Chain A
């Protein structure tokens, strides 16, 4: 069975500090991977997607970047956090049919102070 693990579960960071969030998928080779951001009580906004190692496509950047260093790993990062980065970050994977069926992780709650 496929499992998706996001880390950390929650972060409290200062404005201007760096950030790195991670996502690992086990049990599925070459998944499509996605990053979404959700403001508290708000909708989900797609940030990035990747269909293969080393390649990442941006949908909405929000002063963030993403990388896929391994087949099963997707990293979201920034060198300088803004207050507007606060929210819920969700990683998702799909078995290869584009974004038709997304399986989401349990998310990372980020608070920027």
Chain B
């Protein structure tokens, strides 16, 4: 059973548009949700994260919106740039040293 789900699988936006990446999870006890960005051939890097006590977290052009009741999150990337083209993974922490990752959304930003 997949604990963390992401949609869409791939997304293409034009430069300057807002990209919206979606994530949902199964277990209501999950309380920490990081998003990782991965470029081809590299390891992922932490982009932004949110805990379940917040409903919004902003860092520059990246914003997480969190709906605890519906067990859903979304990552909004405003003013998308070609350099943002990467795969984005949503993750959830079931316990202190374990992280479940979603299947990822491959974002392409066209110039």
A57→B97 contact, CB < 8 A: yes
A104 located at the interface, meaning its Cβ lies under 8 Å from any Cβ of chain B in the complex: yes
A43-B102, A43-B103, A43-B104 in contact; A99/B42 too (CB < 8 A)?
no
User: What CA separation (Å) do A104 and B45 show in the bound complex?
Assistant: 7
Specify the main secondary structure of chain B where it touches its partner.
strand
A99-B98, A100-B34 in contact; A44/B93 too (CB < 8 A)?
no
B102→A99 contact, CB < 8 A: no
A42-B103, A100-B32 in contact; A49/B43 too (CB < 8 A)?
no
Chain B residues 38 to 52 lying within 8 A of chain A, measured CB to CB, are 41-46, 49
Residues of B within 8 A of A44 (CB): 44, 89, 101
Q: How large is the interface on B (under 10, 10 to 19, 20 to 34, 35 or more residues)?
A: 20 to 34
Contact with B along A28-53 (1 / 0, CB 8 A): 00001010000000111110010100
Contact with B along A80-113 (1 / 0, CB 8 A): 0000000000101000001111111111000000
Residues of B within 8 A of A59 (CB): 98
B45→A45 contact, CB < 8 A: no
Q: How large is the interface on A (under 10, 10 to 19, 20 to 34, 35 or more residues)?
A: 20 to 34
Residues of A within 8 A of B97 (CB): 32, 34, 49, 51, 57, 98-99
User: What CA separation (Å) do A106 and B40 show in the bound complex?
Assistant: 10
Residues of B within 8 A of A (CB): 32, 34, 36, 41-46, 49, 89, 93, 96-104
Can you add 5 more A-B contacts, CB < 8 Å, to A43-B89, A102-B44?
A: A34-B97, A44-B44, A44-B101, A98-B97, A100-B32
A-B contact pairs, 13 of them (CB 8 A): A43-B101, A46-B98, A46-B99, A46-B100, A92-B43, A98-B93, A98-B96, A99-B93, A99-B98, A100-B49, A104-B43, A105-B43, A107-B41
Residues of A within 8 A of B (CB): 32, 34, 42-46, 49, 51, 57, 59, 90, 92, 98-107
**Which 7 A-B residue pairs are closest in the complex by CB-CB distance?**
A104-B43, A98-B96, A44-B101, A99-B99, A43-B103, A49-B97, A43-B101
